[in-house]
Structure 1
Amino acid sequence: MNTLKQLQSGVLKGAVSLKLSEGLSHFPPEIFELADTLETLDLSGNKLNALPPDFGRLKKLKILFCSDNQFTVLPAVLADCPLLDIVGFKANIIEMVPAASLNPNLRWLILTNNRVMALPAQIGNCSRMQKLMLAGNLLSELPRELSQCSNLALLRISANRLNKLPQWLLSMPRLSWLAFSGNLFNEKPAVQPIALVDWSHLELKHVLGEGASGIISKATWNNGGERKDVAIKIFKGAVTSDGLPDDEMNACITAGSHPGLVQVIGQISAHPARKKGLVMELIPSNFFNLGNPPSFESCTRDVFKQGMSLTATQVHKIAATIASVAAQLHSKGIMHADLYAHNTLINDEGTTLFGDFGAACFYNRAYTPTANALERLEVSAYGYLLDDLLGLCNDAKSDKDLIRLARLRDECLATEVLLRPGFEYINDQLQ
């Protein structure tokens, strides 16, 4: 974090990155003194509602974040920065997205949690677009021209007002991570009741982790005199970049029991702040994340620790487990929508646990054309996971099983959506 005082004193001259969050109500003109070097500008957490008309002077700017401000219109001056690649205006009060604001160079656009009612047709000119985050707005339809964005791989449209899921989305060649829960067309699933765990029977220990939708903590559960260490997830209750917490909780419950899923024990009742939550089996401490979330550079593809490698046995066990889990989810009409290595936990033996249902969506399996297409969008995400796994194994080009796995990867990544195999077939091939 930098300070305005540092900027004004000149000590930041030559900076490539600048982050200011000091309740600013106006764009500091001193930022232009960094125009020859500045590539990343983060002005999140201020009170800004406009950018200066000469904003395009920042000719080297690649990344701009203006989340948690007071913008009501996406600024048209964004189009004046020729190298602008990533733009984030999460949690403003944006109602309008002018055609002029859509810089055709954009690869990643974040408009989560605003009041956007419509997108202009000119979004189809953003041919580089790979990632588009629109959850938590007021969209009643998507422009058909979005289908021209043939590189679009991840789309979040949860918690809007869409009356139907556009069918043209289901034939986009690279779309692999699609979240759409919380719209008018969504069917509410009949979630089977599970055991209730009274909050007073839980003793919180410490926080294990925090995500967009909730906080996971270690706790001890006093179950009729028997004490058991568990994990609990308390949902925050707000719209996330992926969707609604209620949908996540319902998906976790409906997913059912599987060796590759973290087992849900029960649903928390009588929380003092009336928050919703789940009690889950505690993941053994020897499990670790297979991958890390995408970087700015990789955009939609996970990144991995330097020097990480997997054996052929580990690759096969991970691939087989995820295929089996995905087959079970889709048999229940659940699209995970975030099938990634960073949501996959493994141990040294390759035993695998798959989680994070924050983007999960329910769909009607009975409507075969849409159901088949939605499943095969997720199959594409699985294909990218296979590609990552094979890239981490030195034996990928010599091991016969992994050579077959590479052929399966190619089938999963076919640009013609309905030519991809379903998860039941994939599971049969790997078990």
Structure 2
Amino acid sequence: MQTLKQLQNGELKGAISLKLSDNLSHFPVEIFELADTLEYLDLSFNNLNSLPPDFGRLQKLKIFFCSENQFTVLPEVLSDCPLLDIVGFKSNRIETVPSASINSNLRWLILTNNRITELPAETGNCSRMQKLMLAGNKLKELPASLTKCRNLELLRISANQLNEFPEWLLSLPKLSWLAFSGNPFSYKPTVQPFTPIDSRQLEISEMLGEGASGIISKATWRHAGKTSEVAVKIFKGAVTSDGLPEDEMNACITAGNHDGLVELIGQITNHPENKEGLVMKLIPESFYNLGLPPSFVSCTRDVFKPGMGLTPAHVLKIAGTIASVAEHLHNKGIMHSDLYAHNILVDDEANTLFSDFGAACFYDLSDIETAKKLELLEVRAYGCLLDDLISLCNEAEHPGIEKLTALRDLCMSDNALKRPLFSQISSQLSGVK
């Protein structure tokens, strides 16, 4: 991160990237001195509430983040930057999105955790849009013009005030990752409380990781005269980019047992801060994340460590396990909504665990037509995973990989009705070697 003083002293001349978090209340005009080179600008975690009328002088700007500020209106001047590709105004106080603020060049727009009640129809003019993050607002409906966004792949509309599920979303040919829990229309099955585990029986030893919804730690569980090493997830309780933590917890409980899921042991009670939490089986240290989250360039697609490779047998084993888990979840009316390699844990033997239910959604299995469409939507996400696995395979002409390639093409068909269901995918993969 750079400093305002460096900028004012001219030390950043020629910079392509600028990140300033310095309790700013006004846009530093010195930024315009970088107009000939600046492509990435991050002014998050300040106290800004407006942008200058000549913001468009930043003609080369491609990525602009202005999250955790004080904006109440999405600035119209965003449309004056012709190359603007990614815009993030997460966690402001935005209530109004003027039609003029929608830059039609956008590929990725983040408006999570604001107070937006309505999106302008002009949002549908973003023909390049691949990723639209709207969770945690006050939207009562979506503009039907979004049907024109034929490249939209990831959409987050959780924790809004939508009274009806926008069925027309299911006609979008590339939509693969859709999260919609926490709305008035959302289906809420009865979730029975899971095995209670008193927090006083748990001794936290070290933090293993932190996600948007909570913190996972290693802990010692003392119960019935025994001692066990377990993993504990304590939910933060705030809305995330994917949805509400309570929906994640309920999905974890409802998912039940499967060899490809992390085993759930119990639900925490008597937490000293009254927080919700889950106790899970501790994943062996031999497991690692198969992929890394999408980059600015890849947008909706995962990236992988340089030089990473998989044998055909490992590719097929991972593909088979995830298909089986997805079939298991959809049989329970759960759409994972974040089917990605970065949410898959594997070891060197390709033993596979599917994790992170932060975006998971329940749907009504008795609504057969919609249930099928939602499953076929997630099948496209699975097709993207197959595409990634095939690209990592070190033996492309292997017979099993050739069959997997044909399956990938079916799963990624723009015509959802041509895609197989997860039960059919599992059946096809069961005999492939």
Matches within 5 A, 1:327-366: 327-366=327-366
- Asked if 2 retains the 8 angstrom alpha-carbon contact of 1:98 and 1:120, the reply is yes
**Secondary structure, counterpart of 2:221 in structure 1:** strand
SS in 2 for 1:353: strand
Q: Per the alignment, in what secondary structure is the counterpart of residue 390 of structure 2?
A: helix
**Shift, 1:429, TM fit:** 1.1
Residue 193 of structure 1 and its aligned partner are, at CA, apart by 2.4
Distance (Å, rounded) in 2 between the aligned partners of 1:418 and 1:247: 29
SS of residue in 2 equivalent to 1:234: strand
Q: Percent identity?
A: 69
Q: Could you say which residue in structure 1 is the equivalent of 2:425?
A: 426
What letter corresponds to residue 378 of structure 1 in structure 2? E
Aligned Cα root-mean-square deviation (Å): 0.6
SS at match of 1:237: coil
What is residue 403 of structure 2 aligned with on the other side?
A: 404
| Matching residue of 1:56 | 56
Cα deviation code 1:95-147 (max 9, x no counterpart)? 11111011011000000000000011111110000000000000000000001
Q: Which amino acid aligns with 1:149?
A: C
SS at structure 1 position matched to 2:229: strand
* Equivalent residue number for residue 178 of structure 1: 178
Amino acid at match of 2:55: F
Q: Using the TM superposition, give the Cα deviation of residue 419 of structure 1 relative to its aligned residue in structure 2, in angstroms.
A: 1.9
Give the ranges of 4+ consecutive aligned residues of structure 1 lying more than 6 Å apart after TM superposition: none
Give the Å deviation of 1:192.
Answer: 2.5
Contact 1:372-1:418 at 8 Å conserved across structures: no
Q: Is the 8 A contact 1:158 1:179 kept in 2?
A: yes
Quote the residue 1:10 is aligned against. 10
Alpha-carbon contact 1:172-1:417 (below 8 Å) kept = no
Say if 2:262 is the partner of 1:285. Answer: no
Shift of 1:191: 1.1
Task: Determine the structure 2 residue equivalent to 1:203.
Answer: 203
1:354-393 aligned at under 5 Å gives the runs: 354-393=354-393
Whether 2:241 is the aligned partner of 1:241: answer yes
Shift of 1:74: 0.4
Cα distance in 1 for partners of 2:417, 2:78 equals 37
- Distance in 2 of aligned mates of 1:187 and 1:257: 22
Q: Determine the C-alpha separation between the residues in 1 that align with 2:98 and 2:426.
A: 46
1:264 maps to what in 2? 264
Q: Aligned runs of 1:37-48 on 2, under 5 Å? A: 37-48=37-48
AA of the residue aligned to 1:2: Q
The one-letter code sitting in structure 2 at the alignment partner of 1:13 is: K
In 1: Cα distance, 2:167 partner to 2:234 partner: 35
Classify the secondary structure of the residue corresponding to 2:307: coil
Distance 2:41 2:31 in 1: 9
User: How many corresponding residue pairs?
Assistant: 430
Question: How far apart are the structure 2 equivalents of 1:258 and 1:429?
Answer: 20
Distance 1:194 1:72 in 2: 41
In the TM superposition, what is the alpha-carbon distance from 1:430 to its structure 2 partner? 1.3
> Distance between the aligned counterparts of 2:364 and 2:187, measured in 1?
8
Matched with 2:416 is: 417
Summarize deviations over 1:353-388 as a string: whole Å, max 9, x none.
Answer: 000000000000110111010001100000000000
Match of 2:167 in 1: 167
Distance 1:281 1:428 in 2: 29
Counterpart contact for 1:108–1:130, Cα < 8 Å: yes
Q: Distance in 2 between matches of 1:134 and 1:407?
A: 34
Post-superposition CA distance 1:299-354 (Å, at most 9, x none) = 00000000000000100000000000000000000000000000000001110000
Structure 1 portions without partners, runs of 5+:
none
State how far apart, in whole Å, the 1-side matches of 2:187 and 2:37 are: 50
Using the alignment, how far apart are the partners of 2:387 and 2:418 within structure 1?
Answer: 18
Equivalent residues of 1:232, 1:277 under 8 A apart: yes
1:187-202 pair list within 5 angstroms: 187-202=187-202
Cα separation, 2, equivalents of 1:328 and 1:183: 24
The alignment's TM-score, normalised by the length of structure 2, stands at 0.99
